[in-house]
Structure 1
């Protein structure tokens, strides 16, 4: 007994006519007749009574019809499952990412995503947190990755990792006085910071508020638009900065930078998407990949 035989049997039973059933299935009348005959001979039963040029279900056929339909329905359900599981994820994804994430956290993860989904084309633009948020809101990016706070309430945020922050100076920088254990005197430092709208600058702004002062109370020596420029300026002895451990870990290990004790909260790396835009299969696959829920 095959699925094709069951399919032909059901079609003939529902139409009461061999030729009409064959036309519906796109096969010849002789092929339909042969399938019914083979099914009857294989099991030693009569499924139909021939009445003139028409046929009608025999008692055995009446009993067999609901079972045949049930088998065909289960076969269709099984096929749908396999088609869904094997569905190829294709298309393109536009990703906007803040500098720390784009330069230090994202590349290896995108490489492994490409291995898993080679048919997905990826493009990445880099900006600060405010710029990434704007790109997702206006549709220039399918999704964003940020370390700073977002302001719009029509964005979904999904945590993808945690980042550790460090206060660093050049190895030749004079020792910094502590006002309390784990609390350096931030007003006594000359600062090199990122531009407004960056998540890294936001951390220093929060720290200043925690100390009861404003950013204007600090000695801001230099504002630079990239983490790499800041790292090189600090290594050259131009001042201090608060920056992701991902950016300066090697320089600290090699001795060109020195970490200064300062209690700093960890911050989340987050994926942001627009609430009103339906996610594609590629977006869902990337989200699962970055959150470790594959």
Structure 2
């Protein structure tokens, strides 16, 4: 009888603990927000209204998508979200959604264009060449237009390169012009060594990794970045010598980078089959 009572108490305690974990409203809300953001930023899924509910480590997806590929993609994104271990996928496949109102597609495209423009602006701010350049960035259906007046041809060229190499950009109209007066002043007062505070190494590493992640030319996940007082070391593997050159150049132009050592960044060797 005593053993039975103890087992009952133990079972009740376990139920209480599990209920407490699954009923944490703050954690559930945080995971719901993370997953909803990931779904909204995905270009294949953002036209659809996908409901998200999280309880403990399980996410429940509801709503409608056009096909099974999109249904499975939503589930994969949920499982890739840290903290979610199980997915109850209740999304319904509705092929007729291909006729969904054009306003939804237009809204999704506006979100994507706004995100694309923000990514390019951020990359320009991270570069020592363009951090203070008054460059306006606009995106429409992946076509990016750059406007502004800069004090060096290097700033104009780099702005175009940054835009063209950003993932999701189809075409770039580089309408940035050269300010002759500012160029003359810049020649009279050449910029020497950076005079501002040195960014932290964690900031430098973060900006380099994000630049790789946003670049259409690189797989940032295969490149490891370390920095010590602005001296950057790259390691890992790329698929070509061209990719290695791009990785070094992207790292070199980030604010706070004093030098780049890429000896440990290897080019993958092709295996003949």
Instruction: With the length of structure 2 as denominator, give the TM-score of the two structures.
Output: 0.27
Q: Which has the larger radius of gyration?
A: 1
Structure number with greater CO (CA < 8 Å, separation at least 6) is 1
Instruction: With the length of structure 1 as denominator, give the TM-score of the two structures.
Output: 0.26
